[in-house]
Amino acid sequence: MVTAYKIHDLVEYIDWLYFFYAWKLGAQFGQISEIHGCDSCRAQWLTSFPEEERPKAAEAMQLYKEANRMLDELDKDFEVKVMYELFDSNSDGDNLIVGNVVIPFLRQQTRKKDNEPYLCLSDFVRPLSSGQKDTVGIFASSVDPDMEKIYENDPYKHILVQTLTDRLAEAAVEKMHEHVRKVAWGYAKDENLTIKEMLKVKYQGIRPAVGYPSIPDQSINFLLNDLIDMSRIGIRLTENGAMYPHASVSGIMISHPASSYFSIGKIGEDQLNDYARRRGMEVSEIRKFLAANL
């Protein structure tokens, strides 16, 4: 399933906190996105900060205003594309079997609490030994590559567009995932969450993305591409599995009600060797994809 979203359809799904993080502004300043747009409300918000923090708050206010103007400009010429497919699936140890593709995962090495198990994404999918099929979703999202090239002669506007395109690719996935949960997959038909609650991951299930803490191996993109052919929405993979356009995101949707996000952490040589074997790659090659986890 491929969908093209207009920019104005995605604005309410943008997680502005990450936008402000990209501009080195803290979460407290990112809350400007939740303030009513009238002058009195903004003035009241500004004066709620200690005097020494008001210059930063004013900067955040202006940045948010300019970002929304830029979104209006982008809406005239560009769309954001997202795709997903649902597959029969099972787990087999630390591997996920999706259709006819085997996706190896890593098992968590750092727990938040001593009594918690060491998690792997495959834990949240029905095992092959059960004899029953489960379902997982594979997704990808990307902006129009021309969007990343505009205002190249204006450094400020160019950076503004770049930070917005990252948020728009994520917003498209947020909107798509809502539709999948409630309609296409329909495992949460009665979900009734605000967008703010969705951005705080109050929904059932998870959608871990490639390159993020639970799937740190960027080369997994090659396996996902075998399943959904990301070129259908204009995504090209480099020889190392990186996605172009840069404002792209890919990953897996899992519905298990107990599923949760986690970080793999540092792995040892034993797990590295086992993972390389399951990936069908040389240890030396896998080592470069997992450098941050060694």
Cα–Cα distances in angstroms (integers) from residue 223 to residues 83, 152, 228, 280, in the given order:
15, 34, 9, 12
* Contact partners, residue 194, CB within 8 Å, separation at least 6: none
pLDDT at 99: 92
pLDDT at 35: 83
Residue 127: phi and psi, rounded to 5, are -70, 150
Task: Locate the DSSP E strands across 42-105.
Answer: 79-92, 95-98, 101-104
* Contact partners, residue 177, CB within 8 Å, separation at least 6: 139, 203, 207, 253
pLDDT at 114: 75
Q: How far apart are CA 27 and CA 218, in angstroms?
A: 28
First to last CA, the chain: 37
Q: How far apart are CA 224 and CA 213, in angstroms?
A: 17
pLDDT at 264: 94
Domains of the chain listed by start with CATH number: 2-77 (no CATH), 79-293 (3.10.196.10)
Question: Strand, coil or helix: what is 193?
Answer: coil
Q: Tell me the β-bridge partners of 118.
A: none
Whether the link from the prior residue into 216 is cis, omega within 30° of 0, is no
Regions in the chain scoring below 70 on pLDDT:
112
pTM of the predicted protein model:
0.93
pLDDT at 115: 79
pLDDT at 27: 80
Q: How far apart are CA 99 and CA 94, in angstroms?
A: 16
